[in-house]
Amino acid sequence: DLTEEELQSFSKPDEVGDETFIIVALMAMRHPKSNVLSGALSALVVMMILSTGLGRIVPNLISRKHTNSAATVLYAFFGLRLLYIAWRSNSKASQKKEMEEVEEKLETQQGKIASISSYIG
């Protein structure tokens, strides 16, 4: 029995615009779009299933008081961390730098895949 919140979580992914989204966009420019789309959607479904499952299981293993305390500390830590990063960054320079980092990661991954496929073939 899925609650309304769980159903809503499947309808609106919150990670649009992060590094993963950029990687998928760049991969779609270099590889068949259908393969990239199916891989990205499959990863999204797996992550939603894992997060929903852990969200249902973990509160049953740990007391509600400890779960709420841990969630509060983690949300505060990561929220303050993101504010600190945003405060220190130059938006134009950071976007360009992030794109360069993503492209570099893709190139190293493609090099690894090429070496593996040449080893296998």
Q: 114 in a domain, yes or no?
A: no
Q: Is residue 82 part of a domain?
A: yes
Residue 56 lies in a domain: yes
Q: Which residue has the higher pLDDT, 48 or 3?
A: 48
| Owning domain of residue 59 | 3-94
Give the chain's domain count. 1
Give a yes or no: residue 64 inside a domain: yes
Query: How many Å apart are CA 107 and CA 1, to the nearest integer?
Result: 44
Number of H helices and number of E strands within the chain?
5, 0
| Residue 30 in domain | yes
pTM: 0.46
Judge whether 37 and 113 are in contact, CB under 8 Å: no
Higher-pLDDT residue of 1, 70: 70
Q: pLDDT tens across 18-77, in order?
A: 677 778 888 888 888 899 889 988 988 998 999 889 888 887 888 888 888 998 999 999
Does 111 reside within a domain? no
- Predicted local distance difference test score (pLDDT) of residue 75: 95
Residue 100 lies inside a defined structural domain of this protein: no
